């Protein structure tokens, strides 16, 4: 039985978040009747609390694309986009989303997605987002507002950068939301949602940092995809989000108390042999198969950079209800895609040390320049600074043509042999 058809074992939290996402898509389908305004936006730097404070519903095109990839729908959508002239080298998230629109805009759960009332682009280091929303603006003929987030070229967001973002929020983003929603800006409503976000972020960080234990009760790359789903998409700043992360924390605490490892698609990982850190997004079209390759080797990912693409909460950031617009700017500026290469290297080195990892792997995604640019330099520098072995595998986001199971398995097995050889040398020394 193929990986895509085989029933995978899941934690209860995975089932909960799947139900949350399905309910959200159902609510979106009813939006034309309920008259709830719909705002399309992106994961890095998303302003979910602000959007929801106006009574609007968020739609995230990346989530549509990755969900379509996991559900085996992306191949046809990509083919549809390429048939309409989109290059093979274009980000496959974009082609999957555009193909879905051209095919009738039926979302990954089977519900029809409404047209956006507003396109809200928070630019956080990925140029593709700008072109993507230009394409969607052409498709939907709807207003688009742009929040420009200064790139951390020198590794910090300066005070003037922060003020620049606050001014844009006041002068451009909020007026656009007021217009499409018919509501005035309510700062108290925003504060309440920011407080809910901070609560959820506390529990998420606890879950991610539970991987410092041996054995780790979670997989912080593959498992974390499910953990970060609600907070990176539509549920930050909601009661549902807070409840989910409390339930997740209880679940992980139970596994921690019992000394259990994470649950992979093929079952629990009962013997943690290798602790790894991973850089780069996962492949979505063969997600279970990809994860199981690691689990079969007894390799557990204890930290990853991808799980920070929607916020670097484990480095101390929390949404601050006492500074509503300033904290939104801080959040946008600190997303992983807005961090320069030295900052990304520092992050990997810190993870390798703090989580006592045996090494790190880079999954280089063919069509994602935001992540793949500079990854070979990152690999060499992290190896040099930590003395730990790095490995390099290649796949794509949602284009199944660029997933070679045999090639990835061979590279993973070769990398594990490198880790074993290093251990043997250490034992002899």
Q: Is the pLDDT of residue 131 over 70?
A: yes
pLDDT, residue 3, reads 44
pLDDT, residue 8, reads 64
- The chain-wide mean pLDDT, for the chain, equals 93
Q: Domain span at residue 26? A: 1-429
- Write the DSSP string, 205-267: HHHHHGGGSSS-SS-TTHHHHHHHHHHHTT-TTSHHHHHHHHHHHHHHHHHHHTT---EETTE
Residue 170: in which H helix or E strand, if any? Answer: none
Q: How many CB atoms lie within 10 A of CB 45?
A: 28
- Closest among 231, 228, 170, 169 to 196, alpha carbons compared: 231
Q: Could you tell me the end-to-end alpha-carbon distance of the chain, in angstroms, rounded to an integer?
A: 46
Residues 309-323: pLDDT tens digits?
A: 999 999 999 999 999
pLDDT, residue 92, reads 93
Confidence grade of residue 427 (pLDDT, cut at 50, 70, 90): low
Q: What is the mean pLDDT of residues 345-350?
A: 98
Residues 254-304: pLDDT tens digits?
A: 999 999 999 999 999 999 999 999 999 999 999 999 999 999 999 999 999
State how far the Cα of 21 lies from the Cα of 108, in Å rounded to an integer: 10
Confidence grade of residue 253 (pLDDT, cut at 50, 70, 90): very high
State how far the Cα of 428 lies from the Cα of 416, in Å rounded to an integer: 19
Q: How far is CA 71 from CA 67, 68, 81, 213, 377, in A?
A: 6, 5, 18, 33, 34
Residues 351-362: pLDDT tens digits?
A: 999 999 999 999
pLDDT, residue 264, reads 94
State how far the Cα of 362 lies from the Cα of 383, in Å rounded to an integer: 12
Query: Where is pLDDT greater, at 71 or 373?
Result: 71
Residues 11-31: pLDDT tens digits?
A: 788 888 889 999 999 999 999
Backbone phi, psi, residue 279, to 5°: -110, 140
Q: Is the pLDDT of residue 197 over 70?
A: yes
Confidence grade of residue 4 (pLDDT, cut at 50, 70, 90): very low
In the chain, how many domains are there? 1
Confidence grade of residue 56 (pLDDT, cut at 50, 70, 90): very high
Backbone phi, psi, residue 121, to 5°: -100, 115
Q: Is the pLDDT of residue 337 over 90?
A: no
């Amino acid at each position: 039985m193929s990986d895509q058809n085989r029933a995978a074992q899941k934690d209860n939290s995975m089932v909960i978040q799947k139900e949350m996402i399905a309910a959200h898509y159902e609510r979106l389908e009813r939006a034309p009747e309920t008259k709830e305004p719909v705002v399309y936006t992106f994961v890095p730097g998303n302003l979910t609390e602000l959007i929801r404070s106006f009574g609007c519903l968020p739609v995230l095109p990346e989530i549509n694309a990755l969900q379509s990839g996991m559900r085996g729908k992306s191949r046809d959508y990509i083919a549809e986009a390429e048939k309409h002239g989109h290059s093979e080298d274009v980000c496959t998230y974009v082609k999957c989303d555009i193909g879905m629109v051209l095919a009738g805009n039926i979302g990954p759960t089977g519900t029809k997605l409404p047209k956006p009332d507003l396109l809200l682009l928070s630019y956080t280091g990925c140029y593709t987002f700008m072109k993507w929303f230009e394409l969607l603006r052409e498709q939907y003929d709807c207003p688009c507002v742009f929040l420009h987030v200064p790139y951390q070229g020198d590794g910090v967001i300066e005070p003037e950068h922060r003020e620049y973002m606050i001014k844009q929020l006041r002068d451009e983003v909020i007026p656009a939301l007021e217009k499409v929603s018919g509501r005035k800006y309510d700062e108290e409503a925003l504060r309440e949602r920011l407080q809910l976000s901070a609560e959820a972020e506390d529990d998420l960080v606890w879950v991610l940092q539970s991987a410092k234990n041996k054995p780790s009760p979670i997989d912080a790359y593959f498992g974390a995809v499910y953990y970060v789903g609600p907070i990176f998409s539509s549920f930050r700043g909601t009661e549902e989000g807070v409840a989910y992360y409390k339930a997740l924390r209880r679940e992980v605490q139970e596994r921690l108390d019992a000394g259990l490892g994470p649950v992979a698609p093929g079952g629990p990982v009962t013997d943690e042999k290798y602790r790894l850190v991973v850089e780069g997004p996962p492949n979505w079209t063969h997600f279970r198969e990809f994860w199981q390759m690691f689990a079969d080797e007894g390799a557990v990912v204890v930290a990853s950079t991808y799980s920070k693409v929607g916020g670097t909460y484990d480095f101390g950031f929390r949404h601050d209800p006492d500074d509503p617009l300033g904290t939104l700017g801080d959040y946008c500026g600190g997303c992983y895609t807005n961090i320069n290469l030295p900052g990304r290297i520092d992050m990997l080195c810190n993870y390798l040390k703090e989580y006592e990892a045996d090494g790190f792997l880079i999954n280089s995604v063919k069509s994602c320049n935001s992540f793949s640019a500079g990854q070979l330099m990152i690999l060499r520098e992290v190896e040099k600074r930590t003395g730990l072995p790095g490995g390099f595998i290649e796949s794509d986001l949602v284009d199944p043509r660029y997933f070679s199971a045999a090639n990835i398995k061979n590279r993973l097995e070769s990398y594990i042999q490198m880790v074993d050889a290093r251990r043997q040398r250490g034992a002899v020394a």
